[in-house]
Amino acid sequence: MQRPPIDPQQAQVFGRPHGVAGSFAGAAQRRRDPRMVSAPPPDPALAQAFGRPPGAQASLQRGAPETVGPTELAESDPWRDARSGARPGPPALGEDTEPEAEPGPPTAKLGARELLLGSRVRPSALAALVVLALAVGAIGGLVGRGTADVTSALTDANVTLAQVDDGAAPPANGVAATAAAVLPSVVSVEVRAGDTGGSGSGVVIDGGGYIVTNNHVISQAATNPSGATLDVVFSDGTRQRAQIVGRDTKTDLAVLRATTPNLTVAQLGRSNQLNVGDPVIAIGSPLGLAGTVTTGIISAKQRPVRLSGDGTDTDAVIDALQTDAAINPGNSGGPLVDYEGRVVGINSAIRTSGGDSGGSIGLGFAIPVDQVTAVAQEIIRTGSMRHPTIGVNVRSVTDGSTDGAAVANVQDGSAAARAGLAEGDVIVQVGDRTIAGAEELTVAIQERTIGEPVPLRVVRAGRTIDIQVTPDSD
């Protein structure tokens, strides 16, 4: 046999110490050899727990059966039969001594009924269950397909809402001619749910039958689709069942669709071209009186107004146009137009003096048409609307000379958190717009674009700092 050479380094580590010829070195040799380390004495606690009792000499190794008598075996190991002798067992591996068993007859394969149900269901009942499952799946598929078809039938990705620039010549007869031109595009919106109902106004903004109105006008029909009806009544008295294309609770806008031929479509103007003092006309159905026309002027622009109320899920802050044109309950959703017949806003809210007075006192508010166009077009194309958000809760504060929006808390992982905004910061400017309170901050952020950086001016511990934040989608 040829043995491979031994590595000298391994021989030094694993070989016998110098001068040792046997398996173990003696005590004297172990003391001389530095590589031999004596085991430390056992821990006293372990020795007391696991060591032999004092004075015991018994070994763990037993004697052979022929040298130890049966009585001694029984006394030392009561679990062993002292009369049985030790016998060698069979080898662990060896040649097979037993013949192989002959294979039996083939067994029947398990079917689905035996495997799943343990043969406890009759074949006829199993077949009925299969047919029922197929029927349920088919019905579910038809319902899903129908829902998808309805949604896709209401939206249209090719619609682009056009806005008319300033410069067109006003009608020759002023208010009368303007009202006559716009009234055919204005509708009354009626919602009924059992014994209750409500009404508002709307305006046709596209020839495909798209009508814009306020969300709070139709929210009862949207939240109770099976128990409420939604109709629109055109200026000629034609009544048509309408469907909700989509709605946006954060701007109080909704888009309906009614498939009626030969619709008159209103022109959409540009609210950013308006000036305070410009004359305007409000058209709608106040208190159910369809085709009502009132006149006034633009009293203010960029007036932050919060919209909410009982019986509606609207929770909006709009950057409103303020007007003194008479607006009353039922005008909501109707158009505010300029003297050239272009829609410049959607009438949405009024402010009253309280008490029993719920009518107009010359403080009406409309959603600017620039925002209406953007929201309505997105709803028509996709069925929903997304808004930019920075992820903070704020409250209005003032120190007597400067107003702002104080950060109450910052949401984890939000755009504000990434930008470094902290609780106690007071936001006083967004871009070029001065922030006077919490509601103004909301509308200032909503005017921005998702994913586009926005500069903020913040007062922190008496010092003014500039922070850049990139809004996320809500």
**What CATH homologous superfamily does 388-473 map to?**
PDZ domain (2.30.42.10)
pLDDT at 54: 77
Query: Among residues 188, 201, 206, 216, which one is catalytic?
Result: 216
Bin 67: left if φ > 0, else alpha if -120 < ψ < 50, else beta.
alpha
pLDDT at residue number 157: 87
Residue 264's pLDDT is: 93
Q: Which of 206, 248, 252, 370 is catalytic?
A: 252
Residue that the structure tokens 């689709």 belong to: 225
- Kindly report the pTM of this predicted structure: 0.66
pLDDT given for residue 322 in this prediction? 96
Output Rg (C-alpha) for the chain, integer angstroms: 45
What type of residue is 297? Answer: I
Is 18 one of the annotated active-site residues of the chain? no
What is the Cα–Cα distance from 37 to 26, expressed in whole angstroms?
13
pLDDT tens for 203-233 read 999 999 999 999 999 999 998 888 899 999 9
Residue 149 annotated to the active site = no
Tell me if 175 sits within 8 A of 295, measured CB to CB: yes
CATH architecture observed for domain 271-368: Beta Barrel (2.40)
Cα dist from 256 to 7, 197, 230, 231, 274, whole Å: 91, 17, 9, 10, 27
The string of pLDDT tens digits covering residues 283-328 is 999 988 999 999 999 999 999 999 877 678 888 999 999 999 999 9
- Is 332 annotated as catalytic? yes
Q: Name the active-site residue from 332, 338, 387, 472.
A: 332
| Residues in the chain, pLDDT under 70 | 19-39, 58-123, 125-126, 143-152, 167-173, 310, 354-358
Going from N- to C-terminal start, the domains of the chain cover 271-368, 388-473
Q: What is the pLDDT of residue 298?
A: 96
